[in-house]
Amino acid sequence: MDKSFPPGAEPESPVIKPVTAIIALGSNLGDREGLLLQALRLLDEHASIQVQHVSGIYETDPVGFTEQPAFLNMAAAVAVSLPPLELLRQMLAVEGRLGRVREQRWGPRTIDLDLIYYEGVEMDTEELTLPHPRMLERAFVLVPMRDVVADTEVAPSFRESVESAAAEAQRYGKEGITLWNTINWRSGSAHSGS
């Protein structure tokens, strides 16, 4: 059977049943909160991605390269009917639309989207590792992620790991994490916590 396609045509992705994925979002340049919200809207506009739950927005100290502005970080649980690598590519496209330039590892950025968890998938490729290999080490990921796993169907062992690691990170004051704002995602309203 010939599986070739006409020039410029690619096979369509198979339709898959929606699963839960968790995305960490961060920004420390420009209108940080506005960029986080724009990223959520752009993700949610995609036909195969539905933002279901969002965390509070937390301000955190930079990690790695510390001579840069503080970050705003949050997490979102999404229902997605794209395979993990296609979801990652959509996230990278959103970063590009919002002006992300990759000049320095752990450097300043308008927006950063990391795929942290994808239901039922463990993988380790050059392009993507799931679950994210450093998620349990970073308060700026853990604390917002704890907010979303509380309202999201995930494996109980995953929820317990996140809750335990987040509590420990907050107990020891890792990365100077403080609640910045909360949002009501579906109504689009926000009330300031700062």
Catalytic one of 32, 112, 146, 147: 112
**CA pair distance 105, 68, nearest whole angstrom:** 12
Catalytic one of 109, 138, 146, 147: 109
Q: 51 pairs with which residues across the strands?
A: 78
- 51 token code pair: 């933002």
Looking at residue 12, its pLDDT comes to 52
Distance of CA 23 to the CA centre of its chain: 2
Active site residue 89: no
Q: pTM higher than 0.85 for the full model?
A: no
Active site residue 112: yes
Looking at residue 105, its pLDDT comes to 61
With beta carbons less than 8 A apart as the criterion, state whether 94 and 135 touch. no
Q: 3-state DSSP helix/strand/coil percent for the chain, to nearest 5?
A: 30, 25, 40
Catalytic one of 100, 138, 146, 147: 100
Helical ranges in the chain per DSSP H: 32-45, 84-97, 139-149, 156-171
Active site residue 100: yes
Looking at residue 15, its pLDDT comes to 57
Q: Cβ of 26: how many Cβ atoms within 10 Å? A: 24
Residue with tokens 């690619």: 10
Looking at residue 4, its pLDDT comes to 42
With beta carbons less than 8 A apart as the criterion, state whether 132 and 6 touch. no
**Residue 156: helix, strand or coil by DSSP?**
helix
Domain ranges of the chain: 19-186
- 66 token code pair: 């510390």
CATH class entry, domain 19-186 = alpha beta
Tens digit of pLDDT at every position of the chain (194 positions): 344 434 444 445 555 789 999 999 999 899 999 999 999 999 999 999 999 999 999 988 777 666 778 889 999 999 999 999 999 999 999 999 998 776 766 667 789 999 999 998 989 999 998 888 888 778 888 999 999 998 888 888 888 989 998 988 877 766 677 788 788 776 443 433 33
Catalytic one of 44, 61, 89, 114: 114
Looking at residue 187, its pLDDT comes to 43
Looking at residue 192, its pLDDT comes to 36
Looking at residue 150, its pLDDT comes to 85
**CA pair distance 171, 190, nearest whole angstrom:** 28
For CA atoms 183, 158, 165, 89, the dihedral sign is negative
**CA pair distance 150, 45, nearest whole angstrom:** 24
